[in-house]
Structures are given as C-alpha cells and as structure tokens.
Amino acid sequence: METFTYTHFPAQSSVVHIALFTSVGNAKDIRARIVKASTLGGPEGDAERGAVNFAFIDARLVTSRLHLQTAVYQAILSEAQGSLRTKTVHSEILWALNPSNNISEAIRRYGVSDSSSALLVVRIGSPDLKDVESLMRAIVDGTLSPLADLAALTDWSTVKKYYKLNGEPAIKEVAQDPEREREIVDNIIVSSVAMKSVQA
C-alpha cells in the first residue's frame, strides 16, 4: 500500500491510500457486501458501510498510477467544491474513470465485478485514520502487490474501446509500435480523466 498526502485539500480528505491486490479470490463476496451495506439500517449498517468504505477498482482498466491518481485528485476536488455527482468521494473516483456521465455504467465497468481478479483499493481519509492496510486486508482476500505491477494487468484493448480510440489518428499513427501506443493511450486517458468536469 502507498500513501499520499495532499496538504492543500481539506483535512478529512487529505490523505489517500492506494493498494493493489492481485489473485483476488473473493470479488463476488466484496460486491455482495457493498450492495448489502447500502441497504442495512441501524448501527449494524453503519459498521458495515465503514468496513467497505473504499473505492474498489478493477485494475484491468487502469493504465498507470498517474491515471488513478488523476481520478482521485478530481474526485477530492469535486467533494471539496460541493459538486460530487455521486454519493461519496469513493464512488466519484469510478465516475471520473468512466468516459460517459452514466453512473451505473461507471460502477459496472470500473468497480469490482464477480470476475475481478486484481483490484485497486483506495481510501481517502483524514491524517487520523490509522492502519488502513489492515482495514483493506480485512475485506480483500488477495496478494498485496506493488503498484508497479499494474503495468502488466492493463487490458489495453478494452480501454481503447471504452475511450473510442481505435479510429483516432494518434493511435493509427503508431500501430507498428505497441510500446509507444501504450504511452499515447495512457496520456490521452489521463488527460480525459483530468478534463472530464469540462468535457464537451
């Protein structure tokens, strides 16, 4: 797990914890817990919502660490400015990652699905929140891996399809050079996430 501090954001959203879990064995259970937590009432419901208070992101659709950081940054910005399009700063990350404005599509594509085997788990919180890694491990049954492993997990063809990049001159130009193509796809996608709040 890695932790990044943003001193210029409000304290309650100034610390970002990001972990990559691979060989995840309980994606189906995680999804079921998230769904259930949202309907439970009373103290039990509060506790369960606390336990799943993360963004769970399918790692296949994330192209780089900057891609995720950019979505996180824009989500905190929306929260700080009172302009969240979704219920929480964590679901806002999923919204930021998806090219369209359709919230349920964002959650379906970028959130945890029954077939997810690698998950990026994000917790945005205050500096007082301690031992976040244990909180993550309590939910996710998987292998905690360095964020650098992300590069090997990306499903580039699905990413290109969601962002409608296949016909674009920038991509056609580098058809012979897969490594360069990935750099360009990543740059376009990071840029798209960064400007989603003003996209045409």
Contact set with other proteins (CB under 8 A): 2, 4-8, 65-66, 69-70, 73-74, 77, 81, 165, 168-170, 172-173, 177, 180, 183, 187-188, 190-192, 194-195, 197-200
Nearer to other proteins by Cβ, of 100 and 197: the residue is: 197
CB of 56 to other proteins, least distance (A): 21
Nearer to other proteins by Cβ, of 27 and 96: the residue is: 96
CB of 35 to other proteins, least distance (A): 32
Q: Which two tokens stand for residue 97?
A: 């990652």
In angstroms, the CA 151 to CA 188 distance is 16
Nearer to other proteins by Cβ, of 37 and 68: the residue is: 68
Nearer to other proteins by Cβ, of 40 and 195: the residue is: 195
In angstroms, the CA 19 to CA 42 distance is 30
Amino acid at 10: P
The Cβ of residue 83 has, within 10 Å, a number of other Cβ atoms equal to: 10
Nearer to other proteins by Cβ, of 4 and 126: the residue is: 4
Instruction: Look up tokens 């919502």; give the residue.
Output: 49
In angstroms, the CA 44 to CA 46 distance is 5
CB of 189 to other proteins, least distance (A): 10
Contacts of 189 (CB under 8 A, 6+ apart): 63, 67, 159, 163
CB of 73 to other proteins, least distance (A): 6
CB of 195 to other proteins, least distance (A): 4
Do residues 117 and 27 touch, judged by C-beta distance below 8 A? yes
SS (H, E, C) 121-160: EEEEECCCCCCHHHHHHCCCCCEEECHHHHHHCCCHHHHH
